[in-house]
Amino acid sequence: MVKSHTILAAAAILGGLLIAAPQIAEAQAPMNVFTPPRGTPCTPEPGWWNCFVLVDPKITIMSLDGTSEHFRMAVANIYGEMTKRLSAKYPKAKMNGYKIYLTNGKPWSALANLQPIGSMWPDKTGEMSGDWLRGGTTMNYLWIDEQMMCKTGVKTRGAKDKSQRTYDQVIHEFGHAFAYRFGLDGRINTTWPGNRSAPENFAWSVQYWFSSPAGGFPESKAWMEEMFTSKASFSCQGYKP
């Protein structure tokens, strides 16, 4: 799950500065992700509206009516860029068959009976409810919400949330998906021993690598350099919700 973080800043909204990494190509200008992705249509699962499958790796992206075309494009293209940068030690074919579910601001009361995401968060209210978290990740699928992409605040959280985000949640939840698919729990716990937030720190490390926002954990720097062959950052310019 993605949470607020004190390092979020205006620099992240503008593309941010990137972490220096020896022998790793630095990302250039933030990439435009609002272009048609390579994929083939598929039949949506019950209750879902749109479906397509990316070419390589074969990741299914399913969305509800009310999500924007730009949201679907961004998610598909960002996940394509992230997976093509995986090193040989982390074969992208491990992500074949993974599913992404996209929503856009509908309250948890409208999503709680929608499978598979409706089983994620049983709490009706509070900071462990679907209205607050707006996403999550499992071994086989993840859920992300457009209200957390290229925006300030989250509608279902109310005025309490004023966080600025670019692709924080998009990248963060896919970081958790990598942890599941590559079986990284042991190394995560070794990297942050005794830290209950260790899984979140790993997902944040992936976010930092892709400059959403810029930053980094010193203890996972070498790991990110091992996991990815290069960096990239992604622009919100031109987004039409």
SS3 (DSSP) at 64: coil
Rg (the chain; Cα; Å): 17
Instruction: Tell me which of 27-31, 190-194, 209-213 is least confident.
Output: 27-31
Q: Closest Cα partner for 109 from 98, 87, 125, 89?
A: 125
Q: Look up tokens 């709680």; give the residue.
A: 112
What length does the chain have?
A: 241
To the nearest whole number, what is the mean pLDDT of the chain?
A: 89
pLDDT of residue 2: 54
Residue 40, pLDDT above cutoff 80: yes
Residue 9, pLDDT above cutoff 50: no
Residue 176, pLDDT above cutoff 70: yes
Contact between 84 and 76 (Cβ < 8 Å): no
SS3 (DSSP) at 43: coil
Q: How far is it, in rounded angstroms, from Cα 97 to Cα 111?
A: 23
pLDDT of residue 5: 37
Residue 4, pLDDT above cutoff 80: no
Global pTM reads 0.88
pLDDT of residue 27: 59
As a whole number, mean pLDDT of residues 20-42 equals: 79
pLDDT of residue 23: 52
pLDDT of residue 158: 85
As a whole number, mean pLDDT of residues 142-149 equals: 97
Single-letter amino acid code for the residue at 203: A
